[in-house]
């Protein structure tokens, strides 16, 4: 978890839950492992509830960081352009699924409803699209191939 305050809240919740169930503590063989599992599960619950947030790939960005020099800005712009080209080279269905999921942040079910296709087909198509993008990008940066 990135937010220290949330992490502290999780620890407090877990310890409070442990304290409320202290009468049953004798039944727990390894309390440390139980507490760690509880903390992990609580963090996962918070992350699920929060949902994923995706930033749109964009050429428009501000130079907030002083370390983001003009050469790094140009490199970033080139990477974004290259990524768009790779995505645009995918089959139409894969392009649409990857845009809806990774750029628009839609859920698998929303994508299935939007495209009128099976939920499992959405997952398979997205997996194949991401795999193809990753493979192509790796080849470009490793060998300069397109």
Tell me what pLDDT residue 72 has. 82
Domain residue limits, the chain: 4-50, 70-143
Q: What is the mean pLDDT of residues 52-66?
A: 53
Write the DSSP string, 83-112.
HHHHHHTS-HHHHHHHIIIIIT---HHHHH
- Residue 133 binned pLDDT confidence (cut-offs 50, 70, 90): very high
- For residue 118, the SS3 value is coil
Checking if the pLDDT of 38 tops 90, the result is no
The pTM assigned to this predicted structure is 0.51
Average pLDDT over residues 63-70: 62
**pLDDT given at position 1:** 43
SS3 of residue 77 by DSSP: helix
Task: Select the more confidently predicted residue: 108 or 17.
Answer: 108
Task: Out of 51-60, 68-77, 101-110, pick the least confident.
Answer: 51-60
CA dist 1 and 47 (Å) reads: 8
Look at domain 70-143 and name its CATH class: mainly alpha
The overall average pLDDT reported for the chain is 81
Judge whether residue 57 has pLDDT over 80.
Answer: no
pLDDT band at 16 (very low <50, low <70, confident <90, very high): confident
Distance CA 41, CA 20 (A): 18
């Amino acid at each position: 978890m990135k937010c220290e305050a949330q992490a502290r809240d999780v620890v407090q919740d877990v310890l409070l839950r442990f304290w409320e169930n202290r009468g049953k503590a004798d039944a727990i063989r390894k309390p440390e492992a139980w507490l760690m599992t509880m903390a992990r599960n609580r963090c996962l619950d918070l992350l699920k509830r929060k949902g994923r947030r995706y930033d749109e790939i964009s050429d428009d960005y501000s130079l907030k960081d002083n370390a983001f020099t003009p050469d790094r800005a140009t490199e970033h712009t080139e990477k974004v352009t290259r990524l768009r080209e790779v995505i645009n080279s995918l089959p139409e269905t894969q392009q649409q699924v990857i845009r809806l999921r990774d750029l628009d942040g839609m859920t698998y079910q929303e994508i299935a409803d939007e495209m009128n296709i099976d939920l499992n087909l959405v997952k398979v198509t997205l997996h194949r699209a991401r795999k193809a993008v990753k493979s192509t990008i790796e080849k470009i940066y490793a060998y300069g191939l397109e």
